[in-house]
Amino acid sequence: MLGIVVFVTGASVMVTEIVASRILAPYIGTSIIVWTSLIGVILGGLALGYYWGGRLADKAGSYFLLRNILFLASVYIFGVSQASGYLLTRLIEANADIRISSLVSSLTLFLPPTILLGMVIPFAVALSLKEVNKAGRVAGGLYALSTLGSILGTFWCGFFLLADIGSIKILVLISLLLILIAILLNFAAEKAKTLWFLILLSAALLFVFIAAGAKVKEEGLLLDTDTLYSRVIIKAGREPETGRETIELTKGRFIESYAYTQGDDLFGYYNYYDLASIFNPELSRVLMIGGAGFVYPKHFLKTLPKTLLDVVELDPAMLELAEEYFGFTPNPTLQVYHEDARTYLNSTQKKYDALLIDVFDSDITLPFQLTTVEVIKKYYEALTPKGVLIVNIIGQIEGEEGEFLRSEYLTYLQMFPFVELYPISDAKDGSRIQNIMLVATKNKQEEISKDARIAAMLGHRWEKTIEGKAIILTDDFAPVEQMMAKRTRWDYLY
């Protein structure tokens, strides 16, 4: 019986850790900083659980107490499944530093249940140990079962559960499993009490009813689901300035796709990708890295129907969601590749007239592997002699908080002789955090257009000298998240 207990709790720890990243993602992202806090808290919780559990097991170890520990862990995990959104929303409103908010969130939500689950193995060892000369065999066997549970829980959650039932229901499932284990332990207790059995059984049934009940939907919420790669939230809303109906898709802390539900005009920074045809009028094949809601590919296919468009989008679910919610319709000139952008660039033999990049990891940072001089060399090699590269970066140019943007600019200059910046919201204020389009070309291009919209965008070119601390980013050293963590406030983006 105790072997089953440690196996289930071992699986519960790892499943909870994986799900924790999805719980945190819409509020504080899943950057290396968030993962550092989460892993550190989980390991710290296990260490405290082992220590306190060992002392308590020696002092008053019993099936009765072990059952109560499992019951408390179950209740707390269920509480996290229901109340995490409220707490994390309050943290966002406080606009705390990402390092502080990720640590506080992890401590509050996941330290207590991890401590409780960590106490299980010392109890199991104490209750299983009959002879001192078999202590090593008993302890080793139980730790092996716990680790095996952790391994299977990791694969079970990562490969199947997240995409099948979602993060909240997984936590409810873990809570129910722990309750069931506690009920089984009730029969193993030397002084089993029928009252406790009824209480635990009632709690289990109550959890089932609550989990099966209708979920109160957030205003405008159209979809909240987990794919194999991320938690995806799609909402309907209205643009504050105009009142126009909008739809947005988020996969982390900030919006990844945003579109008007009526009309063909683009929102904000998407328009700047149209500059590709100004810098290189001879567009026959274009590559876009990052699809998300396929907002710009939809526009591209309509305005340039004869130009071939390849889109690299890691998550296969994004194309389906784009068709269902964003009105995207593929056509024969479109080819979508569901793989990591870096692996695609390593293997492709195609040459492109334009390369458009709109991809973020979390907390609106670019994946570090798409910021380095090594990948920029791949971009350069994938472009034709007249090719143009346009990448969306969120940051600022001036001040200490602009170190990442300046470093990325400097890194691009290692391969491309001509690199320009186009701040979207305010072309004069370099201290403002905003969408900034980086344009890189192999040859100097004349940017002239009689179109008022295009001319207005070209007028946003940054004309001042770019000064301040900056480094060349490499695969070996690219502290992207640490640079971006220096930000202390956010202006309105786009």
Catalytic residue positions, numbered: 358
Nearest to 420 by CA among 462, 387, 380, 466: 462
Question: For residue 149, what are its two tokens?
Answer: 């549970």
- 3-class state of residue 94 by DSSP: helix
Cβ atoms 478, 368 nearer than 8 A? yes
SS (H, E, C) 276-292: HHHHCCCCCEEEEECCC
Distance of CA 253 to the CA centre of its chain: 8
- E-assigned strand segments in 210-316: 221-226, 231-238, 245-250, 255-260, 285-289, 308-312
Nearest to 278 by CA among 449, 418, 461: 449
- E-assigned strand segments in 360-459: 383-395, 418-423, 434-441
Cα–Cα distance, 207 to 180 (Å, whole number): 12
User: How large is the C-alpha radius of gyration of the chain?
Assistant: 26
Per-residue CA distances from 42 to 36, 47, 231 (Å): 10, 9, 21
DSSP 341: H
Nearest to 306 by CA among 322, 278, 286: 286
Angle subtended at Cα 307 by Cα 323 and Cα 365, rounded to the nearest 5 degrees: 60
Cα–Cα distance, 165 to 331 (Å, whole number): 32
337-365 per-residue burial string, b: 16 or more CB within 10 A, e: under 16: bbeebbebbeebeeebbbbbbbbbbbbbb
Q: Output phi, psi for 399, to 5 deg.
A: 85, 170
* 30, 36, 42, 43: CA torsion to nearest 10: 160
Q: Output phi, psi for 385, to 5 deg.
A: -55, -35
Cα–Cα distance, 114 to 121 (Å, whole number): 12
